[in-house]
């Protein structure tokens, strides 16, 4: 999506990764949220050898609607909400105090 005077640009990337024992397609949308670059990624993998035709069929059935879903999704959490979440999570090795008392 091109940049406009009141809105930053957005980008969409789709790529297929072929490996000997699987094939994967990944869709990524890049967008500025509150001035911070964010991305959302959706991927689909098919395991096996010679599965290119299967992936082609999947892409024909699902590629356009997956792109549309990602590009229309606007309920993106703010980067600040992730920073706050990281502060409230317990750290590895910390124990939480128990509210029950042993008698």
pLDDT confidence of 101, banded at 50, 70, 90?
very low
| Sequential DSSP letters for the chain | ---BTTB---EEEEEEEEETTEEEEEEEEEEEETTEEEEEEEEEEEESSS-HHHHHHHHHHHHHHHHHHHHH---PPPHHHHHHHHHHSPPTT--PPPSS---
Residue 90 falls inside a structural domain: no
Task: Determine the structural domain holding residue 23 and report its residue range.
Answer: 11-78
Residue 61 falls inside a structural domain: yes
- The predicted model gives 86-94 an average pLDDT of 60
Q: Is the pTM of this model over 0.75?
A: no
pLDDT of residue 49: 94
Residue 29 falls inside a structural domain: yes
Residue 59 falls inside a structural domain: yes
pLDDT confidence of 91, banded at 50, 70, 90?
low
pLDDT of residue 89: 62
Residue 49 falls inside a structural domain: yes
pLDDT in tens, 37-76: 888 999 999 999 999 999 999 999 999 999 999 999 887 7
pLDDT of residue 88: 67
Residue 89 falls inside a structural domain: no
Number of domains, the chain = 1
């Amino acid at each position: 999506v091109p940049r406009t005077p009141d809105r930053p640009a957005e980008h969409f990337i789709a790529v297929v990764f072929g490996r000997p024992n699987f094939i994967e397609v990944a869709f990524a949308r890049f967008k500025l949220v509150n001035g911070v670059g964010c991305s959302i990624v959706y991927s689909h993998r098919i395991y096996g050898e010679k599965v290119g035709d299967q992936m082609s069929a999947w892409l024909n059935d699902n590629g356009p609607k997956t792109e549309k879903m990602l590009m229309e999704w606007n309920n993106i959490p703010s980067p600040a909400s992730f920073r706050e979440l990281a502060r409230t999570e317990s750290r590895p090795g910390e124990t939480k105090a128990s509210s029950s008392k042993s008698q």
